[in-house]
Amino acid sequence: MASFHDQDLTGARFDRVSLRDAQMNSVDLSGIQIRGAAFNGCRMRGVELVDVEINGELQNVIVNGVDIVPLVDAELNRRMPQRAKMRPEDSDGFREAWAILEQLWKSTVARAMTFPPAALHDNVDDEWSFIETLRHLNFAAAAWVGRMVLGNTSPWHPLDLPWDQAPGWDGVPWNREAQPSLDEVLAVRRTRQAMVRQVLETVTDDHLVTYVTRSEPGWPRMENFPLKECLLIVLNEEWQHRLYAERDLDALETAG
C-alpha cells in the first residue's frame, strides 16, 4: 500500500486509479478537477468547501447534518418543471416523458444546426462535443433498450460512443477520433429514438415490474435487472445530456 507523506503532487494526474479506502489528512485539494469519480461512502470532516462546483448523481449527501439532495431536487424541479416527469411510475408516465424529451431535443438540434459544422466538434471545457454527445446517447439507447430490453446482443453502430471511463469490450465500437457530420449522427439518432418510442408505445404497467437478464459477452451484462430501471437510465441520459449540450452551445455562442 503506497504512502505519501510531506510530498508535493501539484499537477499530478491520476487515470484509472483506485483510491478506495484511502485516508487523507491535512491535504490541499485546491483547484483539483475530478471527472468520472465515485465517492460512495466517503466521509469528510473538518473540510473547507469554498467556490466548489459539483455535477453528478447525488444520494444521501449530508452537509453539516442536512441531507441536501431533496433541497437540490426541489430547486431543480422549480427551475425546470418538466424534470420531475423524468422519474415516471407507470407506462403512461414513460410515454409522456419520452414525448417531452423528443420535443426538447428537436429544439436543441435545430439550434445546433445554426452553428458552423466545425463548431459541433468543439470540446468546451474538455467536455464532449455536440456530435459526441449525440453519439453517446445513441450508445445508451442501444445498450439499455436495444440490448437489455429487446435482447439484441450486438445492437451497435460504428459511431456509437461509450462513456470515457468505460473499460472497453470486444465487439463494442469506441472510436473517439471519428469526425462524422451532424447528418450522419442524426440518421442513427432517429433510428434509436424510433426504437425507444416503439418500446414505450407498447410497454404496460405489468412489463415495468419485470426483470431482464443479459449474460452474453459485451455490455451491459446484468442478471435480474429491473426493466423499468433500463428505461429510467435512458430518460436520465437524455435529460442530462441535453442540459450539457445547451450549456456548451451557450459557451460556443458567447465565444463567437
pLDDT for the residue 201: 98
Helix 227-255 × helix 130-141 angle, to 10°: 170
The domains located in the chain, with CATH, are 86-255 (1.20.120.450)
Question: pLDDT for 148-166, tens place per residue?
Answer: 999 999 999 999 999 998 9
Q: What percent of the chain has pLDDT over 70?
A: 100
For residues 36-40, average pLDDT:
88
Q: pTM (2 decimals)?
A: 0.89
Q: What is the mean pLDDT of residues 114-130?
A: 96
Using CA atoms, how far residue 115 sits from 109, 172, 184, in Å, is 10, 31, 16
CB of 156 within 8 A of CB of 173? yes
Q: What average pLDDT does range 24-45 have in this prediction?
A: 89
pLDDT greater than 80 at residue 1: no
For residue 37, the model assigns a pLDDT of 87
173, 188 in Cβ contact below 8 A?
A: no
Give tens-digit pLDDT for 190-213: 999 999 999 999 999 999 999 999
Asked if the model's pLDDT at residue 7 lies above 90, the reply is no
- Under the banding of pLDDT at 50, 70 and 90, the label for residue 56 is confident
One-letter amino acid of 15: D
Q: What pLDDT is recorded for position 238?
A: 98
What mean pLDDT do residues 106-134 have? 97
Mean pLDDT value across residues 164-181: 94
